[in-house]
A and B are shown apart, each in its own frame.
Chain A
């Protein structure tokens, strides 16, 4: 039983395309996050949703748009992909907000060519 799952695991696409990454958690958590881990391994928070409501929106290009249809799902849509978007994107969840004990999904490795 996977606690936090993401699809797809790998995504290779060309510049200019639009793509989505899906995340689901079956832990019953109220809060979900999207992180970006670049080639230098820094993890940076992008978005956070608590009970389907956006609570953190870091400085991220507006080509990135999160959507939370319900507490168990947080999807990330990316428009007009650029080379610099290549990274590993992690979804995470926590029981509530704020919480430092976060459970991460396996990551989606995005490569933009």
Chain B
């Protein structure tokens, strides 16, 4: 089993819709969780951290489910500019980050 797994997608979603995707991790001792965003042929950029109590930033909500070992990202009122690949990142050991392969999101007009 991979340390961090994501559905590669693509998720094709109409503009204005709500979309959510998950990321599962294998190590129950994982401490910290993050979502990064990577546009096509660009570098990754930190989107948001995922706290135990959840985290909301505008249209984006990130949640952690430790019992089932997954984190989620929900995007409300999706915009064309939300089209990107969303990378799940988990801190599993020695503060090194383990990266998922990403979920590709395409927002259609």
Q: Does A106 lie within 8 Å of B43, measured CB to CB?
A: yes
Taking residues whose C-beta sits less than 8 angstroms from the other chain, chain B's interface range is: 10 to 19
Please, how many residues of chain A have a CB less than 8 angstroms from a CB on the other chain? 17
Note all chain A residues with C-beta closer than 8 A to B95. 97-98
Q: Closest CB-CB distance, A29 to chain B, in whole Å?
A: 14
Interface centre among B41, B91, B97, by most chain A C-beta atoms within 10 angstroms, is B97
Note all chain A residues with C-beta closer than 8 A to B42. 106-107
Note all chain B residues with C-beta closer than 8 A to A105. 43
Note all chain B residues with C-beta closer than 8 A to A107. 41-43
Q: Tell me if B32 counts as interface (CB < 8 A to partner A).
A: yes
Note all chain B residues with C-beta closer than 8 A to A45. 96-97
Pick from B43, B85, B96: contact of A90, CB below 8 A.
B43
Note all chain A residues with C-beta closer than 8 A to B89. 100
Instruction: Give bound CA distance, A90 to B46, whole Å.
Output: 14
Instruction: Give bound CA distance, A89 to B3, whole Å.
Output: 22
Give a binary string over A92-108; 1 marks a CB under 8 Å from any B CB, 0 the rest.
Answer: 00000110111011110
Q: Chain B residues in contact with chain A, CB under 8 A? A: 32, 34, 41-46, 49, 85, 87, 89, 91, 95-97, 99, 101-102
